[in-house]
Structure 1
Amino acid sequence: MQRTSVELFAGGGGLVQAGEKAGFRHLLLNEFAKRACETLEANGYKACEEGARPSLPKAGEKAPLVAGDVRKLDMEYLREQEVDLLAGGPPCQPFSLGGVAKGDEDQRNMFPEMFRAVREIRPKAVLCENVRGLLRPSFKPYFDYIQRELELPFVERREGTAWFEHDRVLLERLKSEDTDPSERYEVLKMSVNAANYGVPQIRNRVILVAFRADLGVDLEAVEKALRPTHSEAALVRTFLDGSYWGEGRHSDVEQHVQDRVMARYGDELPFGEGDDGGLAPWRTLRDAIEGLPPINLKKLDKDTPQGGVPDHIGWPGAKIYDGHTPNELDRPAKTVKAGVHGVPGGESVMLLDDRKKDEGSGVWTYLHRYMTVRETARVMTFRDDWKLKGPRGERMRQLGNAVPVQLGEVFVKAVADALDVAEKRT
C-alpha cells in the first residue's frame, strides 16, 4: 500500500523529495514564497491559485501546489482520504538565533496553522522540522507548549487568549486523561545533527514526530529506529587506517592535503579506544561533490555553467578572515544557511586542494572560492536533476531553508514503518 502525505511550507522541495524517495504519494503541497513555488513548478507540480481546493491527483500525477498564504488554505476535504502524514517545517524565523527572537508574538509563527491542518485533516502522523533555536532556555516554556498543542490539537486556543493561559488548559486536559484517542497525538521530540544520518553537513535541528493515539504506535520502537547511523569517530578511523584515501575513494588526493588533514588528529583517535558502535563514517564535503567538474578559478564570471552542469557556476569575491573560516573538504560542510552566500562565518566558502607558494617567505597558502549552487545542493542531498529557480541568492535561500533530503527520508520512512507495524496489529 502506498502511503499518502500532505506538505505545508514545502519551500524548495527537500522534504518533498524525501517523501517521494520513501514511497509516499503527495496529495497536496503548499508554499508561500514566489521563487520556491517556481522551483516546485519547474519540477512538475502544477500551481493553483491561493485558497483553491484542487482535485486529488490521479495515480502517477504530481500533487497540486496551492501557492499562497497557508491561512487561506482549506484542507477539510482531505479528511476522508485518511492521510498518513502531514509534514512541514513552519517558518522558523521567530525562533532562529539569527532572527528577532520574538517567539509567539512574531506574526511569522506558523505553528498555529500546522495545528489547524491537523484538526482539518486528522492525519495518522505529523512531522515538523525546525531550527535548534527552539531549544534555547528562553523559549523552553513556549516550546513545551507547542508540544502540548500537538498532543491536543483539538483543544483550540480561544481568540485573545495568551499562550500561557491556553497551556494551563492543555495541562489540565492531559492530567485528566479523558481525551478521545482519535483526537490526541503521542509526540516524540528529537534533537538531531544531520551529519549523524549520512548528510554531508553539520546541521543541528529539532524534529517533532507525532502519531494519533488511537493507532497504538510504539514510540520507543520509533526512537530506536531513528538512532544515528553515522559518526565522526568512524570517519576519523578511516583517516587513520588509510581507507578514506584508498582505492575507489579519494586516492587521487595529493599527499600534502592528506598530511594537512592528518595533522589535526595525530596518530590516535581523539575519542578514545571505545567501540564506535559499528556506525558508518560521517560523509564529507569531498564525498558530496565527487564527480562534479572542477571549477576554473579564472572563470568566476557569475554566468557560465562549468562542465555542462546546471547551477555549477563560479562566483567571485570569497574571503577568509577571523570568524569567517571556510569549509574543509574532508569534513562535513558547515550548516547551509538562507543567505546569498550564507551568513558571516564562511558557510559557503570552500578551502581547496590547490595552493600557491609565496616566493619571498616560501610559505604555501591554500586557495579558496565560493561553493556553487550545485555543490550546495549536493550538501543538502538534493537530486542532481532537481531544478532550482531564481537568482543565485534565491536558490541558496531555498537550499538553506530546506530539509536535507537524506535526513527527511530517514524520518519519513520511520513513520511509514511504524504505521505498518501498528496497522498489522489491528
Structure 2
Amino acid sequence: MTRTNERRYTSVEICAGAGGQAVGLHNAGFQHVALIEIDRDACQTLRANTDGNPEWDSCKVIEADLREFDPADLGLEPGELDLLAGGVPCPPFSAAGKQLGRDDERDLFPTMLELVDHLEPKAVMIENVRGLLDPKFAEYRQEIIKRLESMGYEECYWDVLEAKNYRVPQLRPRAILVAMKPEYAQYFEHSKPEESEPISVGEALHDSMRARYEAVASDPRAEKAFKDWYKKALADVAPTVVGGSKKHGGADLGPTRAKRAWAELGVCGLGVANEPEEMKDAERDLFAPAGPKLTVAQAAIIQGFPSEWKFSGRKTAAYRQVGNAFPPPVAQAVGEQIYAAFEAAAKTQTG
C-alpha cells in the first residue's frame, strides 16, 4: 500500500526485531526516532535497511538490553514523543513458553511501562501473542491498564487481530493494546477489516516459486513439481510462521502439527531452503517427497514484508528474524488508526 500521510508524528520502537512493526508504522506515516533491539543479527538487518535510506534518515538503531537501557539516551523531553510501540517478548504468554506470565524473567511489560512513564508519549501500542488475552492473565492485564491509567492514559482497545484478514497469507492472531492520552483517545476509532477472501500461499508465492523451478528447468521433474505444489498451495493460507529461539536447533517451519499443515499446502517443513542463487542441493530444496522447502525470502512474503526488505545473518538467523516478526500490514493498519486520531485532534485544536 502506498503511504499518503505526511510524516508529522514520531515513534520509538522497543524489541524491534527484524523490523516488521517498524515497516508497518513507517508505511502508516510515522517517523522513527529509534529502533531498540538486543539481537545483533536483527540490528544488522535494521541498519542494512535504514542506513543511508532517506526515508529513514532520522532513525537510530540501538543495540541494547532494554532492561539496562537509559531512555535519557534518546534525547527526548517528556511528552515530545508521539508513539511508543513494541512487541514485548511472547514466551511469557505463549503455550510454547509455558505461560509463566509475570513469573517469566523474559516479561518486559514492566520495563515497557517504565519507558512510558519516562517518555510520556501521546500513544502506546503493544503487541503480543493471543495467549495474553487468556482468562488466566486477566488480573495481570488489569494491572497493566491500571498502571497506564495512573499515568494519564485511556485504553482504546485490547483485542486480537488476525493477520489473514489484513491480506497476509498466514494464520497469525496477535493481541494488540492501544492506549492514548485522553485528548487523542476520544478520536480513536478501532475497526477491523470486513471479511474478504484471504490470499492463499499459492497466490503469494507463485512468482517466487516459479522462478526457483525455472532455475532448474533442465531437470525433467521441474515443471510437474511446480504444478503439483501450486495446486495444493492454492487451498489455504499458511499456518503461523514460527522463528523459535536460539536455544533450539536449526530453522524449520514449526512443530509437528504445523509441518502437517504445510505438507497439505505442498511445502516441506523440515528445514529452510537456500535462495536460488545459493542453492547447492536441488534434491533437498525443491524435490523433497513432501514438496519444496521455503526460502527465507519466501517466508518473509508469508509474513507480509515488502520484497526490498533484506535480512542479515546466516540462513538460520535470518529465518528466525522473519519467523518472530510482526506482519507489517497489521502494524500499518493499527498505525493508521493512531495517526488518524492524532490528525483529528490536531484539526480540532486548530479549527
TM-score under structure 2 normalisation?
0.77
Matches within 5 A, 1:7-86: 7-45=13-51, 61-76=57-72, 77-79=75-77, 82-86=80-84
Q: Give distance in 1, aligned partners of 2:58 and 2:173.
A: 31
Structure 2 counterpart of 1:330, from 226, 229, 235: 235
**Shift of residue 84, structure 1, vs aligned partner:** 1.4
Q: Note if contact 1:147-1:187 (Cα within 8 Å) is conserved in structure 2.
A: no
Q: Is the aligned partner of 1:402 residue 2:325?
A: yes
Q: Give distance in 1, aligned partners of 2:135 and 2:214.
A: 45
Q: Secondary structure at the match of 1:43?
A: helix
Which sections of structure 2, spanning at least 5 residues, go unmatched?
1-5, 217-231, 245-250, 268-288
Q: Secondary structure at the match of 2:81?
A: coil
Q: Note if contact 1:126-1:211 (Cα within 8 Å) is conserved in structure 2.
A: yes
Match of 1:201 in 2: 170
Structure 2 counterpart of 1:372, from 284, 292, 295: 295
Matches within 5 A, 1:106-145: 106-145=104-143
Change (3 A) 1:124 1:81: closer
Q: Give distance in 2, aligned partners of 1:184 and 1:126.
A: 9
Q: Give distance in 2, aligned partners of 1:208 and 1:45.
A: 30
Change (3 A) 1:216 1:376: closer
Match of 1:389 in 2: 312
Q: Give distance in 2, aligned partners of 1:58 and 1:288.
A: 29
Q: Which has the larger radius of gyration?
A: 1
Matches within 5 A, 1:27-426: 27-45=33-51, 61-76=57-72, 77-79=75-77, 82-152=80-150, 154=151, 183-219=152-188, 222-223=189-190, 226-229=191-194, 231=195, 280-294=196-210, 295-296=212-213, 328-339=233-244, 340-344=251-255, 345-347=257-259, 349=262, 351=264, 367-426=290-349
Q: Give distance in 1, aligned partners of 2:234 and 2:141.
A: 36
Q: Note if contact 2:200-2:238 (Cα within 8 Å) is conserved in structure 1.
A: yes
Q: Give distance in 2, aligned partners of 1:19 and 1:196.
A: 18
**Shift of residue 216, structure 1, vs aligned partner:** 4.9
Which sections of structure 1, spanning at least 5 residues, go unmatched?
47-56, 155-182, 232-279, 300-326, 355-365
Q: Give distance in 1, aligned partners of 2:97 and 2:20.
A: 22
AA paired with 1:410?
A: A
Q: Give distance in 1, aligned partners of 2:114 and 2:263.
A: 42
Q: Note if contact 2:92-2:102 (Cα within 8 Å) is conserved in structure 1.
A: yes
After superposing the two structures, state which structure 1 stretch, 414-423 or 387-396, moved more: 387-396
AA paired with 1:42?
A: A
Q: Note if contact 2:239-2:262 (Cα within 8 Å) is conserved in structure 1.
A: no
The number of aligned residues is 297
Q: Note if contact 1:351-1:369 (Cα within 8 Å) is conserved in structure 2.
A: no
Report Cα offsets for 1:209-257 as digits up to 9, x if no partner: 11112435234xx12xx2223x3xxxxxxxxxxxxxxxxxxxxxxxxxx
Q: Give distance in 2, aligned partners of 1:140 and 1:385.
A: 40
Change (3 A) 1:59 1:13: closer
Change (3 A) 1:371 1:71: same
Q: Note if contact 2:11-2:85 (Cα within 8 Å) is conserved in structure 1.
A: yes
Q: Give distance in 1, aligned partners of 2:145 and 2:264.
A: 41
**Shift of residue 43, structure 1, vs aligned partner:** 1.2
TM-score under structure 1 normalisation?
0.64
Higher relative contact order (CA 8 A, sep 6+): 2
Q: Give distance in 2, aligned partners of 1:390 and 1:73.
A: 24
Q: Note if contact 1:197-1:228 (Cα within 8 Å) is conserved in structure 2.
A: yes
**Shift of residue 285, structure 1, vs aligned partner:** 1.1
Q: Which structure shows the bigger proportion of residues in helix conformation?
A: 2
Change (3 A) 1:203 1:352: closer
Identity of aligned residues (%): 33
Q: Note if contact 2:241-2:254 (Cα within 8 Å) is conserved in structure 1.
A: no
Q: Give distance in 2, aligned partners of 1:214 and 1:200.
A: 36
